[in-house]
């Protein structure tokens, strides 16, 4: 047999193995057509706010399952992703096949205007509030937490609620002058969305925010910057921090502590959808289904260290485990039209104006 023939056989075996691994049980009978078409496309382009380091094991798992498909992963902040994607859609230029955003409101807004309707075979395995019109899907279950410097905040001072955080800062204005940090809600789409959700869940939100910012609040557009500054002691406390990033940092950093507010704990779910204009639409379907699958979510929870949207994965880093830990204080943010209310221009501007007035920013 010639060397050329040997290469041909190896190539066909690779395709066969990729296809065999890619067809889970109980998927539609014609799913093989999607797999075959995706193999021909050869890549999928992801626009995401999830840090590349966190996404790396997810990407590796997908490329192992589908060895003929390369993931082109673009990590951006939420505002950059939104603006870039809209601009590319308007010009019909090359863009992401899949959007995966932690800013749930702008993510859903993009889905409303630009998403392909696709019912994932995995849709029935995630909460109903995380599925919007077979178009946009919540993919994670991430509590929003307080972080604090364990060297400089005593055990009995750790705030256990939003009101307690405000009381602590207000009672010691000199100590906490420019020592509390959170998102800049004008520069961070995620920060804006979280502030709005705080307001919806806290009848005294504006009073609590006034107290929290009474000594001067420091705002950032990056979670990483907030974690670094609290760890170093430049800031003492941060709030509305995504638990997965905080836990990953705290596991290696003895200076960083995490507290869960007991009055209510917002839960974020990163929103994903496939673009109507996706050039690699079949590969995009495989990625979305993989991300929601038990296999993909096990990697999300146990390698990327992001809480799973499912309740059937190994370990307790999922909905069931988080509910066992925090119970009724959990307030998942639903993937639905309520996210869009404060994206209306006048409402957004009025909200930003009030936030600035209260915080002095």
DSSP string, 190-244: HHHHHHHHHHHH-TTHHHHHHHHTTT-EEEES-HHHHHHHHHHTSSSEEEEEEHH
Tens-place pLDDT, residues 166-190: 999 999 999 999 999 999 999 888 8
Identify the three-state secondary structure at position 257. strand
Q: Could you tell me what percent of the chain has a pLDDT over 70?
A: 94
- Torsion over CA: 194, 195, 200, 203 (sign): positive
Q: What is the pLDDT averaged over residues 133-144?
A: 98
pLDDT at position 9, please? 40
- Tell me the pLDDT tens digit for each residue of 290-338: 999 999 999 999 999 999 999 999 999 999 999 999 999 999 999 999 9
Check if CATH label 3.40.50.920 holds for domain 3-141+269-317.
no
Integer Cα distance of 174 and 104 in angstroms:
36
The tokens describing 215, both together, are 């000594």
Q: Could you check whether 3-141+269-317 and 159-267+339-359 share the same CATH topology? A: yes
Are 279 and 43 in contact, with CB atoms under 8 Å apart?
A: no
pLDDT band at residue 15, thresholds of 50, 70 and 90? very low
Q: Give CA–CA dist 34/282, Å, rounded.
A: 5
Contacts of 192 (CB under 8 A, 6+ apart): 103, 105, 183, 185, 186, 342, 348, 351, 352
Mean of pLDDT values over 193-211: 97
* Residue pair 142/243 in contact by the 8 Å Cβ criterion: yes
**CATH of span 159-267+339-359:** 3.40.190.10
pLDDT above 80 for 8: no
Give the H/E segment covering residue 12. helix 3-21
Q: Which long-range contacts (CB under 8 A, 24 or more apart) does 25-29 make?
A: 26/121, 27/121, 27/289, 28/121
Sketch the domain layout of the chain as residue ranges. 3-141+269-317, 159-267+339-359
Residue 283: is its pLDDT beyond 70?
yes
Pairing of strands 98-101, 237-242: unpaired
What is the pLDDT, as a whole number, of residue 19?
43
Distance of CA 62 to the CA centre of its chain: 18
Q: Among 12-21, 115-124, 232-241, 243-252, whose mean pLDDT is lowest? A: 12-21
In this prediction, residues 147-160 reach a mean pLDDT of 97
H-run or E-run covering 114: helix 104-114
Q: What is the mean pLDDT of the chain?
A: 92
Burial class (CB in 10 A: 0-12, 13-18, 19+), 113: exposed
């Amino acid at each position: 047999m010639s060397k050329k023939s040997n290469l041909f056989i190896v190539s066909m075996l690779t395709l066969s193995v990729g296809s065999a691994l890619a067809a889970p049980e109980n998927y539609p009978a014609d799913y093989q057509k999607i797999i075959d078409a995706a193999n021909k496309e050869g890549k999928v382009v992801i626009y995401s706010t999830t840090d590349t380091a966190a996404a790396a094991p997810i990407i590796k798992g997908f490329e192992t399952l589908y060895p003929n498909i390369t993931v082109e992963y673009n990590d951006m902040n939420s505002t950059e992703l939104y603006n870039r994607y809209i601009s590319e859609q308007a010009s019909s230029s090359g863009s992401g096949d899949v959007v995966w955003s932690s800013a749930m409101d702008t993510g859903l807004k993009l889905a409303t205007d630009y998403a392909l309707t696709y019912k994932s075979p995995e849709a029935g395995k995630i909460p109903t509030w995380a599925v919007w019109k077979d178009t946009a899907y919540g993919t994670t279950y991430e509590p929003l937490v307080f972080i604090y410097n364990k060297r400089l905040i005593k055990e009995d001072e750790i705030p256990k609620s939003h009101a307690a955080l405000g009381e602590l800062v207000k009672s010691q204005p000199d100590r906490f002058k420019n020592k509390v940090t959170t998102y800049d809600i004008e520069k961070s789409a995620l920060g804006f969305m979280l502030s709005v959700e705080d307001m919806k869940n806290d009848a005294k939100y504006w009073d609590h925010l006034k107290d929290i910012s009474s000594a001067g609040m420091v705002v950032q557009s990056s979670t990483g910057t907030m974690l670094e500054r609290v760890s170093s002691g430049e800031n003492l406390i941060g709030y509305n921090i995504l638990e997965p990033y905080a836990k990953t940092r705290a596991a290696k950093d003895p200076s960083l502590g995490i507290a869960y507010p007991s009055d209510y704990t917002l839960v974020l779910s990163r929103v994903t959808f496939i673009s109507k204009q996706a050039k690699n639409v079949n590969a995009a379907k495989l990625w979305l289904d993989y991300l929601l699958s038990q296999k993909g979510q096990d990697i999300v929870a146990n390698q990327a260290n992001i809480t799973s949207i499912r309740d059937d994965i190994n370990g307790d880093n999922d909905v069931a485990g988080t509910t066992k830990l925090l119970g009724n204080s959990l307030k998942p943010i639903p993937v639905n039209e309520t996210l869009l209310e404060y994206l209306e221009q006048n409402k957004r501007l009025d909200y930003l104006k009030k936030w600035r007035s209260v915080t002095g920013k």
